[in-house]
């Protein structure tokens, strides 16, 4: 294994990363730069001009043709004496060609992790193979990559980072694949074998090789946290980051750590996705149950590679969309790989940036798997489409449906539950109850939106089964808030709205508030009062039974007065108020019922009269009938007035007085 600092082998000298050749070429003292042009420091005038972008290289044909197959072929295939060539498509640009030209002239070249990838691609472009000369540039750069770069963590990261501008050459030459696998292997290695004496070195200091980072006695050093590789990997471009994480997955890294690395990367490349402080909280909660580590540790290998925190990348919307789509596809399928809060924030940005619908649906299903972990702040996602509502209520409805489907699938097929997920479900028996409280809070918040339709509110409130709510106080608050924001609802709409809650599940305090709530329909108030009466009676009865059970010598309370004396004062006041309200409502209902029956009789009478008036031939009969009816009424009144002072025969049965509304039919 070659050392990161020096290497010798096969007659080829890599001392201090300096590449030299054994054969003598054109004698020169080096290159000189004059503005945008490079000249060879020699007495022989140049006879060949190479132009790359805005930079010109005034060189000689013989050193270049002896080592570059491409230049050799271009010059000899030209029909005329070619003195100038343009190589704008050369990978690595003028910097890489400068090093390649120096190599052709026999000048020592310093190989580093920053220039090796560009120089390797330039050598391949210039066709500097072994067919022209033994120990050509392709061979030597490939050897440096294989034996020096890939044995160092830092150098592998830097080479992969510098390969971002070398596509597709870096891909075709397997530089990206080899660096990704090297990084994955080192990230999955036992972190106890890392010596932390190298941590904190500035980027200019060359990092040690991977073999030097192993220590036979790690107890002398500080314990290595499992996230030591997060910061270094997060500086990579998204496509290279995907390659590294994919390789780490194949090597068996725990899904909690992979999820934490994804969240760390998203926090760095997606500004606004995670607020300050929440990223560390999400990552810590993601794998703290699997590792008992000291979170106060602030150092790490990432100090070698990464820049300062102020060096935040600026990403355009198009690039952000690509990052989000890649991260969604990269999240491990296991539950709790990433936090639900992170998924919801990612979903918010996905809707904002118009990510592909299939990926958004997949992300919504992932949120549904752990919907009970969501918070109200994360659910308040604005509606980015042309919807009239302020918040995306339809999105929350879909998330809730995914949650219910997931719960039903898990309960119906317990044999499919993996061993790793069984403890999580065992410690989470009240997921539906937590989701119910979350939905009630969400409804209370969005109900203030005047554009929220009654149908959307009702569908979301009734999505959960009745068993999910043991108390409907939260739902009552949401209903009351909706009634406040929508005062123009009709009586029918208010009754329809109140059907979403069960009055029997309201607490005593909620019942007291509802009994005095003028926005509720009268029927709902009666139901609330009845429910309150039942609860108070049950509370009094249970209190009495409890007191009777505590002492076998005390007689059971039988009288209502004694029973009320043993009741708390709050219950007595509540019962008196409730009873008074119930009696008042009963009297009002009886009055309304009597008026209703009277109006119904009058309506039927008028209806029959109207039917007969519709016949023109019987108009005179109607008039004479009304006159006869008036005479009979007067005679009846006179008879009753004359018979009033007389004593009636008790043996004769009394006849009920006839009402004056007699039908003539």
* List of long-range contacts for 357-360, beta carbons under 8 Å, 24+ apart: 359/324, 359/325, 359/328, 359/329
Q: What pLDDT score does 393 carry?
A: 93
| Residue 534 pLDDT class (50, 70, 90 cuts) | confident
Q: Express as a percent the part of the chain with pLDDT over 90.
A: 38
Q: What pLDDT score does 569 carry?
A: 55
What is the average pLDDT value for the chain, to the nearest integer? 76
Q: What pLDDT score does 508 carry?
A: 82
Mean pLDDT for the stretch of residues 112-141? 92
Q: What pLDDT score does 304 carry?
A: 36
State which H helix or E strand residue 61 sits in: helix 61-65
Q: Between these two residues, 160 and 307, which has the higher pLDDT value?
A: 160
SS (H, E, C) 323-358: HHHHHHHHCCCCCCCCCHHHHHHHHHHHHHCCCCHH
Q: Between these two residues, 2 and 74, which has the higher pLDDT value?
A: 74
| Residue 447 pLDDT class (50, 70, 90 cuts) | very high
Q: Each residue of 468-525: pLDDT tens digit?
A: 888 889 999 999 999 999 999 998 999 999 999 888 888 888 888 888 888 888 888 8
Q: Between these two residues, 620 and 63, which has the higher pLDDT value?
A: 63
Look-up of token digits 């780490």: 248
Q: Alpha helix locations (H) across 189-254?
A: 230-233, 238-250
Could you tell me the residue ranges of all domains in the chain? 27-150
Whether the predicted pLDDT of 628 surpasses 70: no
| Residue 445 pLDDT class (50, 70, 90 cuts) | very high
Report the alpha-carbon distance of residue 226 to residue 237 in Å, rounded.
22
Whether the predicted pLDDT of 426 surpasses 60: no
| Residue 573 pLDDT class (50, 70, 90 cuts) | low
Whether the predicted pLDDT of 631 surpasses 50: yes
Whether the predicted pLDDT of 10 surpasses 60: no
SS (H, E, C) 582-641: HHHHHHHHHHHHHHHHHHHHHHHHHHHHHHHHCCHHHHHHHHHHHHHHHHHHHHHHHHHH
Whether the predicted pLDDT of 261 surpasses 80: yes
| Residue 643 pLDDT class (50, 70, 90 cuts) | very low
Look-up of token digits 């054994």: 22
| Residue 361 pLDDT class (50, 70, 90 cuts) | very high
CA-wise closest residue to 31 among 54, 5, 6, 50: 50
Report the alpha-carbon distance of residue 290 to residue 527 in Å, rounded.
51
Mean pLDDT for the stretch of residues 537-548? 71
pTM to 2 decimal places: 0.69
| Residue 611 pLDDT class (50, 70, 90 cuts) | confident
Lowest mean pLDDT among 150-159, 343-352, 631-640: 631-640
Q: Between these two residues, 561 and 295, which has the higher pLDDT value?
A: 561
Q: What pLDDT score does 664 carry?
A: 39
CATH number assigned to the domain covering 27-150: 3.30.710.10
Q: Between these two residues, 595 and 171, which has the higher pLDDT value?
A: 171
Q: What pLDDT score does 272 carry?
A: 73
CB 360 within 8 Å of CB 392: no
Q: What pLDDT score does 222 carry?
A: 64
Q: What pLDDT score does 653 carry?
A: 46
Report the alpha-carbon distance of residue 17 to residue 31 in Å, rounded.
20
| Residue 550 pLDDT class (50, 70, 90 cuts) | low
């Amino acid at each position: 294994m070659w050392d990161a600092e020096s290497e010798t082998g096969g007659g080829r000298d890599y001392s201090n990363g300096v590449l030299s050749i054994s054969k003598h070429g054109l004698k020169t003292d080096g290159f000189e730069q004059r503005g945008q042009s490079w000249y060879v420091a020699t007495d022989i005038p140049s006879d060949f001009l190479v132009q790359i972008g805005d930079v010109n290289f005034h060189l000689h044909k013989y050193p270049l043709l002896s080592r570059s197959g491409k230049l050799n072929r271009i010059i000899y295939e030209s029909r005329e004496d070619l003195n100038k060539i343009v190589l704008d498509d050369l990978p690595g640009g003028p910097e890489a060609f400068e090093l390649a030209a120096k190599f052709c002239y026999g000048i020592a070249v310093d190989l580093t992790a920053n220039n090796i990838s560009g120089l390797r691609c330039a050598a391949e472009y210039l066709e500097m193979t072994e067919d022209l000369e033994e120990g050509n540039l392709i061979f030597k750069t490939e050897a440096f990559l294989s034996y020096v770069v890939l044995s160092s963590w830092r150098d592998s990261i830097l080479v992969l980072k510098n390969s971002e501008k070398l596509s597709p050459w870096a891909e075709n030459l397997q530089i990206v694949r080899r660096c990704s696998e090297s990084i994955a292997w080192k990230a999955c290695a036992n972190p106890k074998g890392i010596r932390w004496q190298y941590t904190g070195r500035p980027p200019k200091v060359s990092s040690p090789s991977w073999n030097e980072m192993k220590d036979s006695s790690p107890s002398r050093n500080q314990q290595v946290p499992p996230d030591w590789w997060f910061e270094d990997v997060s500086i990579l471009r998204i496509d290279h980051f995907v390659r590294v994480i994919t390789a780490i997955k194949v090597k068996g890294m725990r899904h909690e750590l992979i999820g934490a690395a994804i969240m760390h990367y998203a926090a760095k490349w997606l500004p606004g996705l995670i607020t300050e402080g929440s990223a560390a909280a999400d990552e810590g909660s993601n794998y703290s149950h699997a590792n008992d580590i000291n979170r106060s540790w602030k150092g790490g290998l990432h100090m070698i590679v990464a820049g300062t925190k102020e060096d935040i990348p600026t990403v355009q919307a198009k690039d952000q969309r690509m990052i989000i789509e890649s991260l969604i596809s990269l999240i491990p399928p296991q539950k709790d790989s990433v936090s639900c809060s992170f998924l919801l924030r990612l979903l918010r940005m996905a809707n904002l940036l118009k990510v592909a619908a299939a990926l958004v649906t997949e992300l919504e299903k992932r949120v549904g798997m752990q919907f009970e972990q969501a918070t109200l702040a994360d659910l308040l996602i604005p509606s980015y489409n042309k919807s009239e509502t302020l918040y995306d209520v339809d999105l929350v409805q879909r998330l809730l449906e995914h949650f219910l489907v997931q719960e039903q699938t898990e309960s119906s097929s317990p044999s499919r539950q993996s061993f790793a997920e069984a403890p999580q479900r065992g410690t989470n028996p009240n997921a539906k109850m937590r989701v119910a409280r979350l939905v009630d809070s969400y409804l209370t918040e969005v109900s203030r939106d005047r554009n929220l339709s009654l149908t959307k509110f009702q569908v979301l409130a009734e999505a959960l089964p009745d068993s999910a709510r043991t108390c409907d106080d939260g739902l009552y608050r949401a209903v009351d808030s909706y009634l406040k924001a929508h005062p123009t609802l009709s009586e029918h709409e208010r009754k329809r709205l109140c059907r979403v809650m069960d009055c029997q599940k309201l607490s005593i305090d909620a019942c007291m508030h509802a009994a005095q709530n003028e926005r509720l329909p009268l029927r709902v108030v009666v139901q609330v009062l009845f429910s309150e009466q039942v609860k108070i009676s049950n509370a009094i009865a249970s209190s009495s039974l409890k007191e009777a059970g505590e002492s076998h010598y005390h007689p059971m309370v039988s009288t209502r007065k004694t029973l009320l004396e043993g009741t708390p004062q709050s219950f007595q006041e509540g019962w008196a108020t409730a009873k008074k309200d119930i009696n008042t409502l009963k009297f009002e209902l009886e009055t309304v019922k009597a008026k209703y029956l009277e109006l119904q009789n009058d309506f039927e009478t008028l209806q029959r009269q109207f039917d007969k008036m519709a016949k023109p031939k019987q108009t005179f009969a109607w008039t004479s009938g009304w006159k006869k009816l008036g005479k009979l009424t007067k005679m009846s009144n006179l008879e009753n007035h004359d018979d009033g002072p007389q004593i009636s025969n008790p043996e004769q049965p009394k006849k009920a007085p006839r009402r004056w509304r007699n039908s003539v039919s």
